[in-house]
């Protein structure tokens, strides 16, 4: 009887430990969708991003970009409910906290942060429109203040114009 109880306990512990490992993160979503049809994706390492920083007019955004490790973009044309469901599963609330949500007609812009307590490791901006999804992911050691400044610096018109 002890053997069966030990076996059941070991099985439960095994299932619980693998459940934590199967949790998706944004980088998993990016890897899955970056090569999908009707998708544009690119990742810019910090060294390459410095070439574009001088073209940025907003001082706060320019300083923010200098401190990044990398920046990735994912633009999905003809977004489906399954795509949005996959995205939501890849941004679990226990890892990604909502910083700000902006609604403008059919457009919803959401800023999420993956925060380790000392700094923000990822700042993700999603722009959801009826037929398109745009995601920008900033990674690095981002201060909380920098994350807030960037969210305030990007307005709905700029985010919507990004796709055009």
The one-character DSSP state at 64 is H
Supply φ then ψ for residue 103, to 5 degrees: -110, 130
User: Which has more confidence, 57 or 156?
Assistant: 57
User: For residue range 85-122, what is the model confidence (pLDDT) as tens digits?
Assistant: 999 999 999 999 998 898 989 999 999 999 888 888 99
Burial class (CB in 10 A: 0-12, 13-18, 19+), 18: exposed
Cα dihedral 149, 152, 153, 157 in deg (nearest 10) = 160
Q: Specify the DSSP element, H or E, that contains 25.
A: none
Where b means 16+ CB within 10 Å and e means fewer, 105-138 reads: eebebbbbbbbeeeebbbbbbbbbbeebbbbbbb
Tens digit of pLDDT for each residue in 3-49? 443 333 333 333 333 344 445 789 999 999 999 988 999 888 766 66
pLDDT at 155: 53
Residues 55 and 52: their CA atoms lie apart, in Å, by 6
pLDDT(52) > 80: no
Where are the domains positioned within the chain?
23-162
Half-sphere exposure of 41 toward its Cβ, with a 13 Å CA cutoff? Answer: 15
SS3 label, residue 78: coil
- In terms of pLDDT, which residue wins out, 59 or 118? 118
pTM: 0.73
> What was the pLDDT predicted at 86?
93
Least confident of 12-21, 66-75, 101-110, 124-133: 12-21
């Amino acid at each position: 009887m002890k053997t069966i109880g030990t076996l059941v306990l070991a099985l439960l512990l095994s299932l619980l430990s693998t459940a934590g490992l199967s949790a998706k993160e944004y980088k998993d979503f990016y890897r899955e969708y970056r090569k999908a049809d009707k998708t544009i994706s690119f990742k810019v390492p910090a060294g390459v991003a410095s070439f574009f920083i001088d073209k940025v007019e907003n001082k706060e955004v320019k300083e923010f970009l200098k401190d990044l490790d990398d920046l990735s973009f994912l633009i999905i044309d003809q977004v489906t409910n399954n795509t949005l469901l996959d995205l939501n599963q890849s941004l679990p609330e226990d890892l990604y906290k909502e910083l700000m949500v902006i609604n403008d007609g059919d457009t919803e812009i959401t800023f999420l942060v993956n925060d380790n307590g000392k700094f923000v490791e990822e700042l993700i901006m999603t722009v959801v429109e009826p037929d398109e999804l745009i995601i920008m992911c900033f990674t690095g050691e981002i201060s909380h203040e920098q994350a807030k400044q960037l969210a305030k610096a990007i307005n709905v018109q700029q985010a919507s114009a990004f796709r055009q």
